[in-house]
Amino acid sequence: MAEPLRVAVRRGEILECVHDVHAVAVRDGAVVASSGDPALVASLRSSAKPFQALPLARAYDGLDTDLVAIAAASHFGTPRHVEAVRRLLAATGGSEEELQCGPQEGRPPDPVYDNCSGKHAAMLAVCRAHGWPVETYRRAEHPLQRLLQDEVAAAAEVEPEEVETGRDGCGVVAFALPLERAARAFSRLEELDGGPRIAGAMRAHPELVGGDGATDTILMQAHAGALAKAGAEGLMCVRTADGTGLALKSLDGNPRALRPALAAFAGRLGIPLPQFVEVPVGNRRGDPAAVVSLL
């Protein structure tokens, strides 16, 4: 097994800390590159959103692409993000009062500002399409959450019971997979029923998937045809234009290690990300104080 990528934080001449990042790339069902342990199990968290949005894409043919994109988003709660969520609710018969993602710290108290509100709006829409109760949609025993576990399993080509589960920060079920299976799932996104609509919407609206300055948004803006979706605790999943799936996980959960790791690992696969090679860190006075880069 290859060593993980090592990302250092340097403050002047001081080596302040080192983050280990495990990474794997899958193309046509085979591992084509890895650093660290491809079998490392990682919680997908928000990286699962493109797959959680698949039932929406299948159930609502007429949705605008921005409404499909917001369903797969971890958005910044800006006016354009919130407007897209509200339009998705209106188009599918939902209301803000039904959203159960809860308020997010540092944002207005209405749940529509939560970074997962697009996903929750899509979940309400899928419940309506199937005639399922909306009041309990986030509970693990609800048929919606069982369907979404099946979606993640099918994308990763594993049995549903092999997908580990927990409770996500927004209250719904969270899923976990080995990194190799997460990369495999992203490589297969456009082969899945509804996958081309999800992928096309994300490509068309990268600024809705994250927001200005978000790592996944920048990557998609820099590389036409690529898809990227961040997950909490230092996870990033990518699908390149040639159908290669990548999954990277900062072992200690710190996302600041992801950009230099992405630059190094994706660069091996012909995806240059020069803006991620070195990440400056400022201090409270706005002075450059540290640099995050590959060790």
* CB proximity list for 13: less than 8 A, separation 6 or greater: none
Mean pLDDT of 155-168: 98
Mean pLDDT of 263-269: 96
Mean pLDDT of 124-141: 98
Q: In this structure, are strands 288-294 and 164-167 parallel, antiparallel, or unpaired?
A: unpaired
Residue 279 pLDDT grade (very low, low, confident, very high; cuts 50, 70, 90):
very high
Q: Give the sheet arrangement for strand 41-43, strand by strand.
A: 41-43, 173-178, 164-167
Angle between helices 258-268 and 215-222 (to 10 degrees): 30
**CA–CA dist 62, 79 (Å, integer):** 23
Tens of pLDDT along 175-229? Answer: 999 999 999 999 999 999 999 999 999 999 999 999 999 999 999 999 999 999 9
* CB proximity list for 181: less than 8 A, separation 6 or greater: 156, 157, 158
Q: In this structure, are strands 235-239 and 245-250 parallel, antiparallel, or unpaired?
A: antiparallel
19 HSE (CA, 13 A, CB side): 27
Q: Residue 1: what pLDDT?
A: 78
Tens of pLDDT along 226-261? Answer: 999 999 999 999 999 999 999 999 999 999 999 999
- Architecture of the domain made up of 5-60+138-294: 3-Layer(aba) Sandwich (3.40)
pTM of the predicted structure, to 2 decimals: 0.97
On average, the pLDDT of the chain sits at 97
Residue 143 pLDDT grade (very low, low, confident, very high; cuts 50, 70, 90):
very high
